[in-house]
């Protein structure tokens, strides 16, 4: 699954996970005129992450539409105490309660013009970056294996480093727009790459030529993108505005902007969108309504798509011979809002997690309904789940954002077959089909500098790495052949640490600026069982 996905940078979830302090009447007051002092506070403490215009950069947009179900008291608490399992820092040592309440009034004050991003806005935003190539390179401009490259996102100063996966040396360090989010995506042959920023800019990159080609903006607060398995369509998921945007993958021309709302008309943010190759469709997770959306990506709208319900208006003749609208939406009603997914190997079933409901929900995409519920503790991060064969069964494992535990499930019965106790909540879990080990970080809490090495057969922790005491260690990824594993020191003065995947011996250390995700071309396009898709 995609995604560094789904929680980093959020100021406040709609449900909230910490009990708010008692807020004063000022925090509950109706938003009104904002004074110069409050604007100065915002520019000093908030604008770097949330944008001068409150429309988001590394953090989400701070406008009323983002917090329709949040109480002012919860927002005050988030400002003063920070948010667990996010990068929202605590400001109680820099702001008084009265100042936090003033900022909440600003946040809940509507913008003069309601934010929107139409298909015309998308079209007008298409541009050639200043350092772009005139055309894709006819052959690689480097001697390295094009399928064993890593694209490493450096959040510290907004770059992507392209790394030779054999020599483990940088080929180029590409300047990007701020705040890449949701992972790097590749064409099925690994020839092109795409990435997206939190404020909606998508870049098409020539892997052979090591140059950007085009860029386009699709929204104001964008969660992630997915690429169809034929490499022809990109689908972008937006939290603001509440849309899905389909693009031609080669030209970045918009094909369709889809307003997202539940069957009852309730608008919804989109948490993420995923490609489901066996189904030739995209699957979208909605954040505000209990529905899952499936959208076929094929150009032949008359062709049947396995697992999609019939269009009964067409079956009855009501629509005559008119062509079916492209990217038709199939709504699947579920028991709770599910905004984090793990798919089984055939993409017949997805396991979804909810902030408003305990445990996991197994939804069968063929029949279109919930078929099982799984008692999972805490807040599982299913987007970072991995799967492998163990004792004759296919199992999946998921880290947990609130508890120090990794849950292991049998994907045939969806029963828990193991529970691994860790030093604290973790964000990422990674492995490789050729490795006996899985690597799990302890992203949150005092042991954030440690990474557990887990034997996939015994489910025991066999080693705990501490590459940089006191500094966050997170997100491992394997080389194409699974012989080496790369680990991030997630700090501005960070590094990539390379280990021998069998002996766990450190081989190399490459200084980098807050390296976060690193994405191996081969592992991504071949759907390695140990990495996110």
As a whole number of angstroms, the distance between CA 457 and CA 428 comes to 19
As a whole number of angstroms, the distance between CA 11 and CA 87 comes to 8
Q: What is the mean pLDDT of residues 471-490?
A: 96
Q: What is the mean pLDDT of residues 212-225?
A: 94
As a whole number of angstroms, the distance between CA 376 and CA 360 comes to 6
DSSP state of 127: B
**In the chain, domain spans:** 25-107, 422-533
* Predicted confidence (pLDDT) at residue 305 exceeds the cutoff of 50: no
* Predicted confidence (pLDDT) at residue 436 exceeds the cutoff of 60: yes
Confidence bin at 333 (pLDDT 50/70/90): very high
Q: Which single residue is written with the structure tokens 């499936």?
A: 294
Q: Mean pLDDT for the chain?
A: 87
Class (C level, CATH) for 25-107: mainly alpha
* Predicted confidence (pLDDT) at residue 147 exceeds the cutoff of 60: yes
Express each pLDDT in 350-369 by its tens digit. 999 987 667 899 999 999 99
Model pLDDT, residue 357: 65
Model pLDDT, residue 483: 97
Model pLDDT, residue 33: 60
CATH, range 422-533: 2.130.10.10
Residue of 426, 467, 457 whose CA lies nearest to 443:
426
* Predicted confidence (pLDDT) at residue 302 exceeds the cutoff of 80: no
Task: Of 11-20, 143-152, 274-283, 453-462, give the lowest mean pLDDT range.
Answer: 11-20
Express each pLDDT in 306-326 by its tens digit. 344 334 334 434 444 555 689
Rg (CA), the chain: 23
Return the higher-pLDDT residue of 49 and 520: 520
Express each pLDDT in 368-404 by its tens digit. 999 999 988 888 999 999 999 999 999 999 999 999 9
Q: Which two tokens stand for residue 275?
A: 């490609």
Q: 429 preceded by cis ω (within 30°)?
A: no
Model pLDDT, residue 300: 56
Residues in the chain: 533
Model pLDDT, residue 16: 30
**For residue 3, what are the β-bridge partners?**
none
Confidence bin at 482 (pLDDT 50/70/90): very high
Model pLDDT, residue 66: 72
Express each pLDDT in 490-514 by its tens digit. 999 999 999 999 999 999 999 999 9
Model pLDDT, residue 130: 87
Question: Are 450 and 442 in contact, with CB atoms under 8 Å apart?
Answer: yes
Return the higher-pLDDT residue of 339 and 119: 119
Model pLDDT, residue 179: 82
């Amino acid at each position: 699954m995609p995604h560094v996905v789904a929680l980093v940078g959020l100021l406040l979830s709609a449900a909230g996970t910490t009990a708010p302090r008692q807020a004063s009447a000022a925090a509950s007051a109706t938003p009104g005129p904002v004074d110069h002092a409050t604007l100065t506070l915002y520019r000093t403490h908030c604008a770097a992450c949330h944008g001068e215009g409150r429309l988001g950069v590394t953090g989400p947009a701070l406008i009323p539409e983002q917090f329709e179900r949040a109480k002012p008291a919860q927002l005050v608490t988030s400002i003063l105490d920070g948010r667990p399992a996010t990068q929202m820092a605590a400001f109680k040592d820099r702001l008084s309660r009265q100042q936090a309440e003033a900022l909440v009034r600003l946040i809940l004050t509507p913008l003069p013009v309601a934010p929107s991003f139409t298909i015309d806005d998308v079209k007008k935003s298409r541009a050639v970056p200043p350092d772009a190539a005139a055309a894709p390179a006819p052959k690689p401009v480097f001697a390295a294996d094009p399928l064993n490259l890593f694209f490493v996102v450096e959040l510290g100063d907004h770059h992507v480093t392209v790394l030779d996966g054999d020599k483990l040396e940088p080929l180029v360090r590409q300047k990007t727009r701020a705040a890449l989010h949701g992972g790097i995506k590749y064409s099925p042959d690994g020839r092109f790459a795409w990435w997206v920023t939190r404020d909606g800019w998508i870049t098409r990159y020539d892997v052979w030529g090591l140059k950007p080609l085009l860029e386009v903006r699709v929204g104001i607060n964008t969660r992630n993108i997915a690429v169809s398995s034929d490499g022809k369509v990109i689908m972008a998921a937006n939290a603001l505005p509440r849309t899905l945007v389909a693009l031609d993958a080669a030209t970045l021309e918009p094909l369709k902007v889809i307003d997202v709302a539940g069957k009852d008309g309730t608008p919804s943010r989109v948490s993420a969108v995923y490609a489901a190759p066996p189904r030739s469709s995209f699957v979208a997770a909605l954040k505000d309504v209990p529905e899952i959306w499936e959208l076929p990506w094929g150009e032949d709208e008359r062709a049947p798509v396995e697992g999609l319900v019939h269009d009964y208006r067409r079956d009855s003749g009501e629509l005559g011979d008119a062509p079916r609208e492209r990217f038709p939406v199939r709504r699947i009603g579920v028991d709770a809002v599910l905004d984090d997914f793990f798919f089984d190997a055939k993409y017949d079933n997805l396991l979804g997690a909810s902030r408003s409901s305990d445990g996991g929900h197994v939804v069968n995409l063929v029949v279109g309904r919930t078929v099982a519920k799984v008692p999972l503790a805490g807040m599982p991060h299913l987007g970072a789940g991995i799967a492998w064969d163990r004792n004759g069964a296919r199992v999946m494992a998921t880290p947990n954002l609130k508890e120090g535990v990794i849950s292991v499930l049998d994907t045939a019965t969806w029963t828990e077959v193991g529970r691994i106790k860790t030093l604290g909540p973790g964000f990422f879990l990674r492995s490789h089909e050729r490795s006996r080990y899985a690597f799990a970080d302890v992203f949150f809490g005092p042991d954030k500098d440690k990474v557990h090495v887990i034997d996939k057969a015994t489910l025991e922790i066999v080693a705990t790495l501490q590459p940089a005491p006191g500094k966050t260690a997170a997100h491992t990824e394997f080389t194409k052949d699974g012989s080496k594993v790369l680990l991030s020191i997630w700090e501005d003065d960070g590094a990539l640490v390379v280990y021998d995947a069998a002996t766990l011996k450190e081989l190399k250390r490459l200084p980098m600026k807050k390296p976060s995700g690193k994405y191996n071309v081969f592992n991504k396009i071949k759907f390695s069982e140990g990495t996110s898709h």
